[in-house]
Structure 1
Amino acid sequence: MSAPDPLITPAFIENRTYAELAVGDTAESVRTLTPRDISLFAVMSGDVNPAHVDADYAATDMFHGIIAHGMWGAALISAVLGTQLPGPGTIFLDQSLSFKAPVALGDTITTRVTVTEKLKKGRVTLACSCVNQDGVTVIDGVARVIAPSDQVHRPRIVLPEVALHAPAAQYARLIAMTTDLTPVRTAVVHPCDELSLIGALDAGARGIIVPVLVGPAARIVATAKSAGRSLKGVEVIDTPHSHAAAAMAVSLARAGKVAALMKGALHTEELMEAVVDATLGLRTDRRMSHVYVLDVPTYPRPLLITDAAINVAPDLGAKRDIVQNAIDLALALGTVLPKVAILAAVETVNPRMISTLDAAALCKMADRGQITGGVLDGPLAFDNAISPAAAAAKGIVSPVAGQADILVAPDLESANMMAKQLIYLAAADAAGLVMGAAVPIILTSRADSAWARLASCALARLVIG
């Protein structure tokens, strides 16, 4: 909800006292019903009746449609009474409304109140109505109030910005994409704490993976008991410690007995040491890299950030693989021609800033077919990559600027800080995957939500295809 325009909205709010009111005095407001209004009303009231919050449902039931969106209209009447006529200081006594017709999304409602009677002790009766853009009365009725006796004239309060976001909505879509896919055997490495074990078992219960638990069997069983979870039908491969669990999981992947790895209660470095082993690991001709898939409340699509976990200071060759890995993941998630922003502090090439030179080189590599499947632009500053307004203000004309699907950071530190700022300051959820190995590797963190853990498993399943 944007702030009122100071050139249109009065800077002050004032009332009409009982002494100032006369029969026939009137006030009105005009408002168009949007999906956002319905969602805000549901959040405020806690009313999740589908007849009230689902426009399609309400449209199939005339009575419920009248009641549901009529309540929104009733709120408009209260707003006019409380802010205009009589205005601040008004005490509501009773209100009788009749809902005549449904209010549909997109309807523009004129709400009007008119003084019809002045009684003793400050009491006032007002006729109330809501009329749509076709002149149809959707609500009419009567309100009885005690009008204020003292004049009120004060600065108008600016309403706060409200961001509506269904938690994990992007992740729910990704998880739904795995519904018709066969679950894949996944080695869960050292799941000896409740979070990692429950995450793996939940993904198994949803049919995303078939968890194969690799680690000290006694500790895994004890953890399951502590968590109140059953291991019936779940394969457990006993190893003496986490290092051995990592080696065993990698060997299972090399032998084709599992199609993905999932990190449990061990350090990322310990797992990746086994994965990158030159002889016994899971190397390919592609450099491995980590890709965050963030569900950011203020961004309209999944936002991929790379590389925040593996490559500390990648050179141009490594960045080429990092970009390609991220594109491949985005394609697996159903993004057609992912838009890749190569980030730097500025949006122009500066010979003294290696990040800008690398960005320009990566874009040219894409032009030459050395990077495929996406469209690249860079260097771009963070704001120009994700904000259409920022890109327009800088005069940047680009198919990527302002609408990036993938953000490629100059180095691990900047990627890691950027992702964690979004997680902790913008309430983003963070799933993640290591790409470029022989099998996808699910990296989880103790801070991950249950949704993020499920989404990470879904990412691996979608990459496998």
Structure 2
Amino acid sequence: MTMPPLHRPKPSQNGLRIGADFAQLLKATAPLPEIVTAVVHPCNETALEGAMAARDHGLITPVLVGPEARIRAAAEAAGRDLGGIEIVPSLHSHDSARQAVKLVHEGRVQALMKGALHTDEIMAEVVDRTRGLRTERRMSHAFVLDVPSYPKPLMITDAAINIFPDLTTKADIIQNAIGLCHALGVAAPRVALLSAVETITPKIPSTVEAGALCKMADRGQITGALLDGPLAFDNAISREAALAKGIVSEVAGEADILVAPDMESGNMIAKQLIYLAGADCAGIVLGARVPVMLTSRADGTLARIVSAALAQLLAHHKQGRSIL
């Protein structure tokens, strides 16, 4: 038996197969100037090519931070000419992360892009209490997904940094994601606080926290969005499922942001959408002094390009230069 296609075909843009949501996002970046970006340890072909492709799309001006011989070997493997591109030498991956964060403090770069190193290595420097990039808000990660079966970009948070966030941390996670939505032109994003059920159930702590977070929004402790929860995944993204359960909500079925109860569930949701629903994804760290493009070492060029687009839009939005 022949199975029907799972998702709509993706048109090609500069050799990339890209969905409608991400194509629109990249189009929106066209009037904005590139942001100077420290590419941390781009010491393999995939990481180096992703940074160069983001440059080719007019998103970043890369500053390559890593052992120079390894960077040049990666460039040769990728068939890339590094003429005119600054290289800041380092000893190894830990040193690459430290040197990149130092460039932020010196005012030489506006963003960071993860290359061929572990997430823990770059984030250890970013969150360091003395030399890192902390702000008054807890840092968090957001996946932005182009899901073929969903009519708009879908954000999932936090799926990479905060393992078991408490109530205060969840408030920061939500506010960070709202800020990114504003940078993407969504003036009043709809935020669904996920759990297994739609009613507050004391035996399920995430439902109690969802209720508290909604009340925090009512009292102005979380601003700039519509919040509702607890909501199960189905009624967060399906209006029909919400109506079938008698849920009356401005968020149900139309969520822009899905807030996971913990990192494990958020990561699973995102990867299920990527591998089973054909979604494309990008990733970014929010709440630091500058945007941090945080992609998996297994991610391809598209994920790195769109992550760079998110960082560019966010950086210019903070400067009051967003054109969305």
Q: 1:303 maps to what in 2?
A: 154
Deviation at 1:172, TM superposition (A): 1.3
Give me the whole-angstrom Cα distance separating, in 1, the residues matched to 2:2 and 2:137: 53
Equivalences for 1:36-115 in 2 at 5 Å? none
Q: Does 1:174 find its partner at 2:18?
A: no
1:322-345 Cα deviation digits (max 9, x unpaired):
000111111111112000000000
Q: 2:219 maps to what in 1?
A: 368
Equivalences for 1:179-328 in 2 at 5 Å? 179-328=30-179
- The one-letter amino acid of 1:451's match is L
Q: 1:355 maps to what in 2?
A: 206
The answer to whether the 8 Å contact 2:138/2:169 transfers is: yes
Query: When the two structures are aligned, how many residues end up with a matched partner?
Result: 309
Give me the whole-angstrom Cα distance separating, in 1, the residues matched to 2:240 and 2:120: 40
Aligned residue among 8, 31, 34 for 1:164: 8
Give me the whole-angstrom Cα distance separating, in 2, the residues matched to 1:179 and 1:205: 12
Deviation at 1:189, TM superposition (A): 0.2
Deviation at 1:447, TM superposition (A): 3.0
Q: Percent sequence identity over matched residues? A: 61
Deviation at 1:449, TM superposition (A): 3.1
Q: 1:8 maps to what in 2?
A: none
Q: 2:319 maps to what in 1?
A: none
Q: 1:344 maps to what in 2?
A: 195
1:65-102 Cα deviation digits (max 9, x unpaired):
xxxxxxxxxxxxxxxxxxxxxxxxxxxxxxxxxxxxxx
Q: 1:443 maps to what in 2?
A: 294
Q: Does 1:421 find its partner at 2:272?
A: yes
Deviation at 1:441, TM superposition (A): 0.2
The answer to whether the 8 Å contact 2:50/2:300 transfers is: no
The 1:439–1:161 alpha-carbon spacing in structure 2 relative to 1, beyond 3 Å, is: closer
SS in 1 for 2:64: strand
Deviation at 1:163, TM superposition (A): 4.1
The answer to whether the 8 Å contact 1:429/1:449 transfers is: no
Give me the whole-angstrom Cα distance separating, in 1, the residues matched to 2:61 and 2:54: 8
Give me the whole-angstrom Cα distance separating, in 1, the residues matched to 2:78 and 2:121: 25
Deviation at 1:451, TM superposition (A): 1.9
Q: Which stretches of structure 1, 4 residues or longer, exceed 6 Å deviation after superposition?
A: none
The answer to whether the 8 Å contact 2:142/2:158 transfers is: yes
The answer to whether the 8 Å contact 1:340/1:377 transfers is: yes
Task: Specify which structure has the bigger relative contact order, considering alpha-carbon pairs within 8 angstroms and separated by 6 or more residues.
Answer: 2
Give me the whole-angstrom Cα distance separating, in 2, the residues matched to 1:206 and 1:287: 31
- The one-letter amino acid of 1:453's match is R
- The one-letter amino acid of 1:164's match is R
Q: 1:408 maps to what in 2?
A: 259
- The one-letter amino acid of 1:168's match is G
SS in 1 for 2:125: helix
Give me the whole-angstrom Cα distance separating, in 2, the residues matched to 1:168 and 1:184: 24
Deviation at 1:162, TM superposition (A): 6.5
Give me the whole-angstrom Cα distance separating, in 2, the residues matched to 1:174 and 1:319: 27
- The one-letter amino acid of 1:268's match is T
Deviation at 1:227, TM superposition (A): 1.1
Give me the whole-angstrom Cα distance separating, in 2, the residues matched to 1:305 and 1:443: 14
TM-score when scaled to structure 1? 0.65
Give me the whole-angstrom Cα distance separating, in 1, the residues matched to 2:234 and 2:52: 39
Larger radius of gyration: 1
Give me the whole-angstrom Cα distance separating, in 2, the residues matched to 1:165 and 1:322: 33
Give me the whole-angstrom Cα distance separating, in 1, the residues matched to 2:28 and 2:68: 33
- The gaps in structure 1 that reach 5 residues or longer are 1-156
SS in 2 for 1:240: coil
Equivalences for 1:129-140 in 2 at 5 Å? none
Aligned residue among 307, 317, 320 for 1:456: 307
The answer to whether the 8 Å contact 1:304/1:406 transfers is: yes
Deviation at 1:448, TM superposition (A): 2.1
The answer to whether the 8 Å contact 2:154/2:258 transfers is: yes
Give me the whole-angstrom Cα distance separating, in 2, the residues matched to 1:315 and 1:455: 30
Give me the whole-angstrom Cα distance separating, in 1, the residues matched to 2:296 and 2:80: 20
The answer to whether the 8 Å contact 1:290/1:309 transfers is: yes
Deviation at 1:450, TM superposition (A): 2.1
The answer to whether the 8 Å contact 2:40/2:115 transfers is: yes
- The gaps in structure 2 that reach 5 residues or longer are 11-17, 317-324
The answer to whether the 8 Å contact 1:168/1:451 transfers is: no
- The one-letter amino acid of 1:285's match is E
The 1:241–1:348 alpha-carbon spacing in structure 2 relative to 1, beyond 3 Å, is: same
Give me the whole-angstrom Cα distance separating, in 2, the residues matched to 1:318 and 1:334: 25
Aligned residue among 204, 223, 244 for 1:393: 244
Give me the whole-angstrom Cα distance separating, in 2, the residues matched to 1:364 and 1:454: 37
